[in-house]
Amino acid sequence: MTPREGDVLRLETSWTTWSFRVVLAAAVATVIGIAIFDVTEYARGPAIVRVEGRRPLVTTVAGVVETVHVQPGQRVEKDQALVTLSAPMEEAEYRRANTEFRLSLAALLRDPGDQALKSSLASLKPKRDNAAQIANARIVRAPHAGIITDVRVRPGQYLTANEVVAGVAPTGARASLVCLLPGEYRPRLKAGQRLRFSLEGYKFEYRTVEVESVGEEVVGPTEMRRYLGQELGDTIALQGPTVLVKARLPARTFTADGQTYAYVEGLIGRADVAIRKEPIIVVLIPALKSLTHRPP
Check residues 78 and 229 and name the one with the higher pLDDT.
78
**Selection from 213, 181, 199 nearest residue 41 by Cα:** 181
Shared domain check, 186 and 163: no
Which range among 26-35, 223-232, 257-266, 282-291 has the greatest average pLDDT? 257-266
pLDDT digits 0-9 by tens, 113-138? 666 666 666 666 666 666 666 667 78
* Residue 119 CB-density burial (10 A; 0-12 exposed, 13-18 middle, 19+ buried): exposed
Q: Which CATH number covers residue 180?
A: 2.40.30.170
60 and 154 co-located in one domain: yes
Note the pLDDT of residue 273: 92
Report how far residue 179's alpha carbon sits from residue 98's, in angstroms, rounded to the nearest whole number. 53
Same domain (yes/no): 239, 277: yes
Domain limits at 115? 88-137
Minimum mean pLDDT among 37-51, 177-191, 198-212, 240-254: which range? Answer: 37-51
* pLDDT tens-digit readout, 241-257: 999 999 999 888 888 88
186 and 48 within one domain: yes
- The per-residue pLDDT for 130 is 65
Whether residue 15 is contained in a domain is answered as no
Of residues 272 and 111, the one with the higher pLDDT is 272
Strand pairing category for 164-169 and 206-214:
unpaired
Q: How many other CB atoms are there within 10 angstroms of residue 215's CB atom?
A: 18
DSSP for 116-144?
HHHHHHHHHHHHHHHHHHHHHTTEEE-SS
pLDDT band for position 287 (cuts 50, 70, 90): low
Domain identity same for 45 and 178: yes
CATH of the domain at 67: 2.40.50.100
Check whether residue 147 and residue 229 sit in a common domain.
no
Q: Which residue has the higher pLDDT, 99 or 101?
A: 99
> Is residue 130 a part of any domain in this protein?
yes
